């Protein structure tokens, strides 16, 4: 992986953060204009670990194929089943398309390599300051760019420099532990019964280990739970999941809302830096890659037209088509999911109907919406006077 020197001070585009959002931004820009001078800036050397659930939806690979990246996970084992549960109710079915569970140490390094292969220059540098001038954006007084994409995560320095407020936040703890026999070959999610909204997870990596963890939304004015408490809640929901676990890391997730609006101008935000994490599931890699590619394309097109100050307008138009209807639906679904009866009705409806299950998965992983099938199934389950109280699974 080649690196450029920070002495190269003037670029068409500087992408701050080389994770999925940043690498995707570089790929989107260079796919639009291969002659663009693109710097991909990160404070860490790759490979490096990153706290995450590690689940990669197939939609992510669809997006990457559009910018010339294929075969990225051909050597990894896909996971075809998803198990959803809460308080004894269970809905387990095959997913319409399999997903992957790939440690970010592997995924991010491969994406950064792909961006470098496409022509990006990888710089190791921690960005602390951003100043916008009439003709350029200047980072830390020495790196100049016609346009900048901030893809530097939940605690984004670029976002802070723009003075943008934060939104709702969740806290999660992630580790890696041996997969018990009953959870092999599946992604398992167990919703909390006391702290809402919350859930524990166990995602089989396909190599004998699972990504396991627990997350919950933080409420203003309440003290965030300590690591020991998070582990207790994980074990209460998924007994034994943390046994033999290691590499425990906590992280914040900036949750999306229905009112997301990207800023105008030369500085764009993508992924976690833009506050884009699914409030239902905590999924963020699809949003990162989708908005990263869109940001890179918008910046490249604006630079090509010699109007980099219009990059934000182009990006807003593109993301409006990609995300806004979906964000409104996930925001509504997240509010509904605060109620015990709604979550249990969704599980019953998903167990009874593959279409409902598929639509619910799509809503939590990518661009899905509250479809008529999902709404009808949920309403029917809510209205039912009685349902079995034991586990409900797809017939063998």
Nearest Cα neighbor of 83 from 240, 238, 267 is 238
Are 239 and 285 in the same domain?
A: no
* Last-in-domain residue among 304, 329, 354: 329
Query: Residues 118, 25: one domain?
Result: yes
Residue 284: pLDDT above 90?
yes
By CB neighbour count within 10 A (0-12 exposed, 13-18 middle, 19+ buried), where does 243 fall? exposed
Q: Is the pLDDT of residue 386 over 70?
A: no
3-12, 26-35, 112-121, 350-359: least confidently modelled range: 3-12
181 & 272 share domain: no
Between CA 129 and CA 141, with CA 135 as vertex, the angle to 5 degrees is 25
pLDDT at 322: 84
Is there a contact between 378 and 120 (Cβ–Cβ < 8 Å)? no
Cα-based torsion angle of the residue sequence 78, 79, 80, 85 in order, rounded to the nearest 10 degrees: -170
For residues 89 and 156, give the distance between their C-alpha atoms in angstroms, rounded to a whole number. 39
Domains contained in the chain, number: 2
Tell me the residue range of the domain where 292 lies: 10-54+103-166+257-329
What pLDDT score was predicted for residue 384?
85
**Cα-flanking dihedrals φ and ψ of residue 69, to 5°?**
-105, 115
- Decide if 221 is inside a domain: yes
Banded model confidence at residue 396, pLDDT cuts 50, 70, 90: very low
- pLDDT band at residue 292 under the 50/70/90 scheme: very high
At 352-361, the pLDDT tens digits run 999 999 999 9
Please tell me whether residues 186 and 306 are part of one structural domain: no
pLDDT per residue over 37-66, tens digit each?
A: 999 999 999 999 999 999 999 999 999 999
- What is the arithmetic mean of pLDDT over 293-297? 98
One-character DSSP codes across 241-264: TTTT-EEEEEEEEE---TT--PPP
Based on the fold, state whether residues 45 and 133 are members of the same structural domain.
yes
Q: What is the pLDDT of residues 235-283, one digit of tens each?
A: 999 999 999 999 999 999 999 999 999 999 999 999 999 999 999 999 9
Strands 143-150 and 137-139: antiparallel
Mean pLDDT of 69-88: 96
Is 234 in the same domain as 321?
Answer: no
CA distance 321 to 302: 18
**Residue from 60, 24, 5 nearest 274 by CA:** 24
- Whether residues 146 and 280 share a domain: the answer is yes
Last residue of a domain, one of 280, 306, 329: 329
- Provide the pLDDT confidence category of residue 338 given band limits of 50, 70 and 90: confident
Q: What is the CATH number of the domain that holds 202?
A: 3.30.9.10
Asked, for residue 71, whether it belongs to a domain, the answer is no
**Does 337 reside within a domain?**
no
Q: Are residues 23 and 110 in the same domain?
A: yes
- What tens digit of pLDDT does each residue of 198-221 get? 999 999 999 999 999 999 999 887
Does residue 147 sit within a domain? Answer: yes
Checking if the pLDDT of 106 tops 90, the result is yes
Which residues are registered as beta bridge partners of 137? 132, 145
**Are 209 and 301 in a shared domain?**
no
pLDDT at position 224 is: 87
Q: Which of 329, 349, 373 is the last residue of a domain?
A: 329
């Amino acid at each position: 992986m080649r690196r450029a020197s920070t002495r190269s001070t003037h670029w068409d585009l500087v992408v701050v953060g080389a994770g999925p959002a940043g690498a995707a931004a570089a790929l989107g820009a260079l796919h639009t204009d291969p002659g663009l001078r693109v710097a991909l800036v990160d404070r860490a050397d790759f490979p490096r670990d990153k706290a995450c659930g590690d689940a990669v939806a197939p939609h992510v690979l669809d997006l990457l194929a559009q910018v010339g990246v294929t075969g990225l996970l051909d050597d990894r084992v896909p996971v075809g089943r998803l198990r959803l549960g809460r308080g004894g109710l269970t809905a387990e079915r095959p997913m319409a398309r399999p997903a992957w569970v790939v440690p970010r140490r592997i995924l991010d390094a491969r994406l950064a390599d792909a961006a470098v292969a496409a022509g990006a220059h990888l710089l190791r540098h921690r960005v602390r300051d951003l100043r916008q001038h009439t003709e350029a954006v200047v980072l830390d007084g020495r790196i100049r760019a016609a346009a900048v994409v901030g893809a530097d995560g939940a605690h984004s320095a670029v976002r802070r420099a723009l003075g943008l407020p934060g939104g709702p936040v969740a806290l999660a703890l992630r580790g890696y532990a041996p997969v018990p026999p009953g959870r092999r070959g599946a992604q398992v999610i167990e919703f909390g019964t006391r702290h809402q909204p919350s859930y524990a997870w166990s995602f089989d990596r396909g190599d004998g280990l699972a990504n396991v963890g627990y997350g919950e939304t933080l409420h203003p004015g309440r003290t965030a739970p300590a690591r020991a408490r998070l582990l207790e809640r994980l074990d209460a929901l998924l007994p034994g999941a943390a046994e033999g676990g290691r590499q425990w890391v906590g992280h914040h997730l900036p949750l999306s809302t229905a009112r997301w609006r990207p800023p105008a101008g030369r500085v764009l935000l993508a992924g976690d830096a833009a506050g884009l994490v699914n409030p239902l599931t905590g999924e963020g890699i699809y949003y990162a890659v989708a908005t990263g590619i869109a940001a890179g394309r918008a910046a490249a097109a604006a630079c090509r037209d010699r109007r980099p100050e219009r990059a934000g307008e182009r990006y807003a138009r593109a993301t409006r088509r990609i995300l806004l209807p979906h964000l409104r639906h996930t925001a509504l679904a997240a509010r509904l999911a605060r109620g015990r009866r709604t979550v249990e009705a969704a599980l019953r409806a998903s167990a009874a109907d593959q279409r409902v299950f598929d639509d619910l998965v799509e809503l939590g992983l990518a661009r899905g919406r509250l479809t008529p099938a999902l709404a009808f199934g949920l309403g029917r389950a809510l209205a039912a006077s009685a349902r079995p109280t034991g586990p409900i699974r797809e017939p063998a």
